[in-house]
Amino acid sequence: MKKLISKILNNDAFGNTLASLISIFLGLIVGLVVMVIFNRAGAWPGFLVMLQGGFSDGARGIGQVLYYTTPLILVGLAVGFSFQTGLFNIGVIGQFTIAAYVAIIIGGKLSMPASIHWIVALIGASLAGVIWAAVPGLLKAYFRVSEIISCIMMNYIALYLVNQLVHDTHYESTTAMSAYVKKTALMPKMGLDTIFPGSTVNSGLFIAIIMAILVYILLYKTSFGYSLRCCGLNRDASKYAGINETRNIIIVMLISGFIAGLAGGILYLSAITKNYKISELFINEPGYSIPVALLGMSHPIGIIFSSLFIAYIIVGGSLMQGYGFPVETVGIITAVLIYFSAFSLIFKNKVNKFALQFSYKESQKTDSFKNE
């Protein structure tokens, strides 16, 4: 029995999951403290409602959680994938934004049959993401320009460019947002609307999960993925092994940008009510990409679960407004939770150390039995 516990404790997947759970738990406690500070009376009921998250609103609530999960999986994947290969694609926000615009234009301006319109719009969005990621990728590969700096620049270019373009080309002045996309361009529901009536969840969820699986296969099962992980873990050894790093950097950025673009396309084609709002601020969803990737330990499958968790907290957080918490406070609390989730790496080390001492002590015990 003890042996079994020791074996489970020393299992990497278990350690990772436990570390994530511990950091979530601590985040929740600190979140509660923050809530007490802001609003003592409403803190506990508000906290409970946040914990219930999507479940407090029946099937529609669960559907909404899944709807928020969809883009989070994709942006998390885009960042996590680049992490694993030693790059930091912080430009997901810009790639997402530019892709959103392309999706809106193809969906709003062009006319096509319903069966292909959304596909064309999605492809266009993904390609926009690819182009936006290619710039920092090429700069990094050929001129050693830090991808972090060039990505941040590209993010601002995307933000202001899209603001201007939306205003000039596809604008609805009454709402100060982009004009509607055509019904033919909306993501098909594929039966999800009957399971989760009233929610905006759509087939994008399936695309996101399929992408996660594809990225998993690419990274861990193919020779190309092997060479990518080599570059990520030890650049010098990869050079020594004759791996073409320049080519890898470019391809990784292109794939990462493709996934980010897909996310932007899916989100802005998800419902007739989802429009691009002209603002000085970046879009919310891709902003979660880094915490999602960190909490999921950059592993494609882990990212699916971390996206679910963060979406759940977002939906739960929005319900807290009913207990006298202003929107800003809700933002702080979700941020605290996510902030803590980034500590999961620290807890991972703690878990490993504990597991170790446990098995050491056990082995001492069994040794002494032998001696007797």
- H runs (alpha helix) in 39-113: 40-52, 58-84, 92-109
CA 135-301-231 angle, 5° bins: 45
Which is closer to other proteins, CB of 193 or CB of 245? 245
Q: Using alpha carbons, select from 189, 178, 203 the residue that is nearest to residue 266.
A: 203
Minimum Å distance from CB 18 to other proteins?
16
Minimum Å distance from CB 355 to other proteins?
9
Minimum Å distance from CB 254 to other proteins?
17
CB 278 within 8 Å of CB 290: no
Minimum Å distance from CB 137 to other proteins?
21
Minimum Å distance from CB 230 to other proteins?
6
CA pseudo-torsion sign 281, 283, 284, 289: negative
Instruction: State residue 348 phi and psi, 5-degree precision.
Output: -60, -45
Which is closer to other proteins, CB of 156 or CB of 240? 240
Minimum Å distance from CB 354 to other proteins?
11
Which is closer to other proteins, CB of 24 or CB of 294? 294
Which is closer to other proteins, CB of 116 or CB of 237? 237
- Please give the single-letter amino acid code of residue 209: I
Burial environment of residue 289 by CB neighbours within 10 A (0 to 12, 13 to 18, 19 or more)? buried
Torsion region of 178: left, alpha or beta (phi above 0 gives left; psi -120 to 50 gives alpha)? beta
CA atoms within 13 A on the CB side of 251: 14
CA distance 344 to 295: 6
Which is closer to other proteins, CB of 239 or CB of 365? 239
Angle between helices 300-319 and 40-52 (to 10 degrees): 140
Which is closer to other proteins, CB of 243 or CB of 335? 243
Minimum Å distance from CB 302 to other proteins?
17
Which is closer to other proteins, CB of 204 or CB of 300? 300
CA distance 52 to 142: 50
Residues that bind other proteins (CB under 8 A): 221-224, 226-227, 229-230, 233-234, 236-237, 239-244, 352-353, 356-357, 360
